[in-house]
Structure 1
Amino acid sequence: MVAALSMVFPTPEETMDFGRALGRALRAGDLVLLAGPLGAGKTTLTRGIADGLGVGGRVSSPTFVLARVHPAGAPGVPLVHVDAYRLGGDLSQLDDLDLDTDLERSAIVVEWGEGSAERLSDDYLVVRLDRREDDVREITLEPHGTWTERVPELTTA
């Protein structure tokens, strides 16, 4: 088993660059859970992931719509971007999104999904973000299932 891996990114652009590397590594069926306080960089990271996947559409926090689907660019994988913040732990609303169906053909990134969305798959990656007072982002990767073999590849991307 791979232990949690921590990295430091001094600028938002470096956070996006890491997101791009993660996006290039994603495939249909991947589940990524983003955890961290408001303003930590979850949506910034998701923008990088979307860019790395080559998906279309503007990426913004889907707080008020809960989920946005970003179509794949040829021959890529679509991105389903979910913000579970407003659900407040109400798993029935998460079930209503049919994410298990989307997971078969898309990569799913869930902001605020820890504690609820991991039940969608035994294979998932928790990306824990923190923003220090000096604006530096600290990112910790916590792999589960097959992600334990894939995480080391992300640090060399």
Structure 2
Amino acid sequence: MKAEHLLPTVEDTEALGAALAGIVVPGDLVILVGPLGAGKTALTRGLGRGLGVAEPVTSPTFVIARVHTGGRLPLVHVDAYRLGGAADVDDLDLDVTVADSVTVVEWGQGLVEQLTDEHLEVRLDRRDDDVRTVLLVPHGPGWEQRIG
């Protein structure tokens, strides 16, 4: 899978998420970085679809975390935007589910990296013409092999 992507539509962003579903394994941590409207939830929605999650994947902004089951792997979707710091992340007990699931954290940069030995950072941005740009940044040998 290539590291850089130009995604003209929301559907393209979801398709990238679905493609990621083909390479994730239990214990994976994916950290989504980008401003509001960059496509973090759309990417996660596609990942859920690619995993075979039956229920809709929506932003967990007000509930902080949602667990989606029924697919190839459980998907834990976290929105860390309103969390105050690492102590708030610890209160979510993500370390309990991370080994068996794919954990996706929006706004998690600097807060959740310690949950696993390696992770994938997905940097999303939205240009003035609404085209999304995505850079996949692997952290650790497992992700480096998969992203290449």
- Same fold per TM (> 0.5)? yes
Shift of 1:56: 2.5
Structure 2 residues not aligned, in runs of 5+? none
Q: In the alignment, residue 131 of structure 2 is paired with which amino acid?
A: V
Q: In the alignment, residue 113 of structure 2 is paired with which amino acid?
A: E
SS at match of 1:114: coil
Residues 41-120 of structure 1: pairs in structure 2 closer than 5 A:
41-73=39-71, 76-88=72-84, 90-120=85-115
Runs of 4+ with >4 A deviation: none
C-alpha offsets along residues 97-125 of structure 1, whole Å, 9 cap, x if unaligned? 11111111110000000111111112100
C-alpha offsets along residues 36-59 of structure 1, whole Å, 9 cap, x if unaligned? 000000000000000011112211
Query: In the aligned structure 2, how far is the partner of 1:109 from the partner of 1:56?
Result: 17
C-alpha offsets along residues 56-113 of structure 1, whole Å, 9 cap, x if unaligned? 221111011110000133xx1000000000003x211111111111111110000000
TM-score (norm 1): 0.89
SS at match of 2:105: strand
Kept in 2: contact 1:26–1:53 (CA 8 A): no
SS at match of 1:25: coil
Question: What's the counterpart of residue 137 of structure 2?
Answer: 142
Shift of 1:23: 1.4
Q: In the alignment, residue 107 of structure 2 is paired with which amino acid?
A: W
- Equivalent pairs counted in the alignment come to 146
TM-score (norm 2): 0.94
Coordinate RMSD, CA, aligned: 1.2
Question: What's the counterpart of residue 151 of structure 1?
Answer: 147
Structure 1 residues not aligned, in runs of 5+? 153-157
C-alpha offsets along residues 127-154 of structure 1, whole Å, 9 cap, x if unaligned? 00000010100000110111011113xx
Query: In the aligned structure 2, how far is the partner of 1:57 from the partner of 1:105?
Result: 19
Q: Once the two structures are aligned, what percentage of the paired residues are identical? A: 57
Question: What's the counterpart of residue 155 of structure 1?
Answer: none
